[in-house]
């Protein structure tokens, strides 16, 4: 694979990095030798990792399309955006309505370095980027980019895709989601994917150790803990399921085995 081995952002390229490992496994180009090695190590431990990550990404695509197309949502807040990997959320929702607006947020300086690629919204729509830590939701919802881009008197699609596994404390993770939802009006939607080891726990414990060795957090939640994020909201069909089972559209390349997907996903409406 062709990759950039010259770092122009001044960031360290000698230490593996979670967002770049994810990029490598997804087939992206924004990674370095050390990330590819770490990615290959994790793939050796759990060969399903690539299928699992691709299924998560394609869940995000279907969710974006569903919210824009079937629910009429025109503004989105995506927390924990990751490195740009086309199609990004704004490409999906602006293909439904070019005027749709997206605010991306991540706490990773590397994602910030690449955020210009995320800013390329359509002419009518707008895309903004907030560099913030989700554990401080106030810094997101009071940021000038958020305030300028989204109108919180109108429904918003809030996405937290493959991100709460970075917060091991359940109360803290729930607080983060609630604090953002609280400023959004009725008719807004929450979409999440949540890492779980409910389906193939043995190799996943080893993947977790490998991530911890690299200084990355990876915390799994069981079904009950995943469902708790949606308390008080109206889950849309089919409820909380593994991500590949959430409104599949036939675009996943191969037949996916349940044990290969370590991620729950769901979408719910704020009443």
Ligand X SMILES: C[S@@+](CC[C@H](N)C(=O)[O-])C[C@H]1O[C@@H](n2cnc3c(N)ncnc32)[C@H](O)[C@@H]1O
Binding site for ligand X (CB under 6 A): 19, 22, 56-57, 60, 80-82, 106-108, 111, 133-135, 161-163, 166
CB of 78 to ligand X, least distance (A): 7
In sequence order, the 6+-apart residues with CB closer than 8 A to the CB of 222 are: 196, 198
Q: How far is the CB of 60 from ligand X (least distance, A)?
A: 5
Instruction: Provide, rounded to whole angstroms, the least separation between the CB of residue 106 and ligand X.
Output: 4
Q: Which is nearer to ligand X, 19 or 96 (CB)?
A: 19
User: Are residues 258 and 199 in contact, defined by beta-carbon separation less than 8 angstroms?
Assistant: yes
Q: Which two tokens stand for residue 135?
A: 């554990």
CA–CA separation, 135 vs 133, rounded Å?
Answer: 5
For ligand X, the nearest residue by Cβ is: 82
Name, in order, each residue with C-beta under 8 angstroms of 201's C-beta and a sequence gap of 6 or more: none
- Helix, strand, or coil (residue 73): coil
Whichever of 50 and 99 has its CB closer to ligand X, that residue is 50
Coil, strand, or helix at residue 235?
strand
In the bound state with ligand X, the residue whose beta carbon lies nearer, of 111 and 261, is 111
User: What's the closest the beta carbon of residue 177 comes to ligand X, in angstroms?
Assistant: 12
Adjacent-strand bridge partners of 130: 105
Which is closer to ligand X, CB of 232 or CB of 253? 253
């Amino acid at each position: 694979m062709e990759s950039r081995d010259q770092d122009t952002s001044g960031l360290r390229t000698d230490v593996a990095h979670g967002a770049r490992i994810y990029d490598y496994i997804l087939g992206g180009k924004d990674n370095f030798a050390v990330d590819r090695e770490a990615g290959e190590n994790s793939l050796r431990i759990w060969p399903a990792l690539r299928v699992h990550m691709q299924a998560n990404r394609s869940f995000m695509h279907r969710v974006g399309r569903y919210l824009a197309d079937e629910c009429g949502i025109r503004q989105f807040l995506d927390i924990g955006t990751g490195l740009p990997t086309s199609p990004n959320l704004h490409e999906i929702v602006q293909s439904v309505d070019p005027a749709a607006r997206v605010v991306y947020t991540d706490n990773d300086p590397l994602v910030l370095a690449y955020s210009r690629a995320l800013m390329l919204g359509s002419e009518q729509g707008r895309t903004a980027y907030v560099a913030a830590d989700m554990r401080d939701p106030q810094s997101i919802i009071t940021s000038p980019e958020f305030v300028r881009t989204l109108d919180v008197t109108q429904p918003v699609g809030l996405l937290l895709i493959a991100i709460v596994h970075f917060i091991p404390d359940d109360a803290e993770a729930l607080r983060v989601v609630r604090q953002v939802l609280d400023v959004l009006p009725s008719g807004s939607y929450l979409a999440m994917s949540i890492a779980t080891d409910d389906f193939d726990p043995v190799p996943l414990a080893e993947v977790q150790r490998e991530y911890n060795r690299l200084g990355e957090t990876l915390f799994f939640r069981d079904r009950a803990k995943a469902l708790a994020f949606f308390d008080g909201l109206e889950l849309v069909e089919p409820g909380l399921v593994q991500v590949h089972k959430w409104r599949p559209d036939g675009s996943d390349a191969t037949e996916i085995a349940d044990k290969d997907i370590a991620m729950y996903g769901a979408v719910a409406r704020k009443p």
